[in-house]
Amino acid sequence: MCNDEVDAAQSLADESEPPDQFPEAVAAQPKQRPRIWPTFVVPMLGVLFAILLQGIVAGAVAAMMLASGVSKAELESQIMEWLASPSGFLTLLACGQIGFAVPTILAALLSPEPFRQRLGLVPLRNPVRVSAMMALGSLLPLAIAFGLVYLVVQFIPADDSLEKFFEKLTPAWGVLFVVSIALAPGFFEEMLYRGYVQRRLLERWRPAWAIGVSSLLFTLAHVTPHAMAVALPLGVWFGIVAWRVGSILPTIVCHAFVNGGVNAWRLVVKFGELSETVQIVSNVLFVGVGAICFVLSCRMLAEYPTPVPSQAADQISGLSH
């Protein structure tokens, strides 16, 4: 066979190569845009699953009470007393957090994106320094949250069940409560709202919309008006932090710090029998430190390059040609 025939045959063979032999062409294909509906379905399933688990546990406790001789007339008061007890409160807290965790983990496992990436459990530079500063900076949003609670109380009386719960706390139960209320929501709620929901929305929407919607869903999950007043400003702050640093590790620390810190302070007030003057001075000091740290936190966040989701980057690149 002559050289011309060999070259022609080689040319035909090259043209018959399948498309996956051209990495440049494959790389140029736009990334598939994630669907929006899971960001609403997964949190809804989390809330429903949490309510279902709590209902099952409360029903089981009621059945045991009836079996032990409690009359039907006394059952309601006995159930309410159990709910206000440390064991009852912590049991329902665990059920609620399991309810949030299960659909979040399942949704992340079913995602084509790697598990840790989908939930935002990705490393970052100087994690201890960043997380500590963001946590201290959370004191100012927390003060704003308490201000909103004060406004809500003017129209809707506060529920006294939490006060009754604290009256029954012993130091041992108090330590267990603080650790539980810090770590469980800190991990599972952040994985759901700032991890799965917000990161998915950021691939489709502008940051303001993604943070706003994820914060709104986070707020609604707290159900009562007073709890929602606390959740809203904190949810927005956590959302901004997670967006700027590209990881939920600092917001896990922030969430745990806020939940654990507030309730630890309540225990200090309870068992330390602090005077009202000491409490007021301490709260003013906390707000002052929080305001300074909030400014420093914002400066630190501003040093991060503006995050650009991969899908948005593809669109910008396409518009520039």
* Tens of pLDDT, residues 3-47: 555 454 454 444 444 444 444 444 444 556 778 898 999 999 999
Total domain count for the chain? 2
- Same domain flag for 65 and 207: no
Alpha carbon distance 26, 168 (integer Å): 63
Q: Would you list the DSSP string of 78-133?
A: HHHHHHTSHHHHHHHHHHHHHHHHHHHHHHHHHSSS-HHHHHT----SSHHHHHHH
Cβ–Cβ < 8 Å for 253, 124: no
Closest CA to 233 of 246, 248, 245, 222: 222
Tens digits of residue pLDDT in 130-164: 999 999 999 999 999 999 999 999 999 887 778 87
- Same domain flag for 88 and 231: no
- Same domain flag for 224 and 253: yes
- Same domain flag for 146 and 259: yes
Predicted pLDDT of residue 134 = 97
Regions of the chain where pLDDT drops below 70: 1-32, 308-321
Domain limits for position 220:
123-159+170-309
- Same domain flag for 87 and 175: no
Rg, C-alpha atoms of the chain:
26
Closest CA to 241 of 207, 209, 217, 213: 207
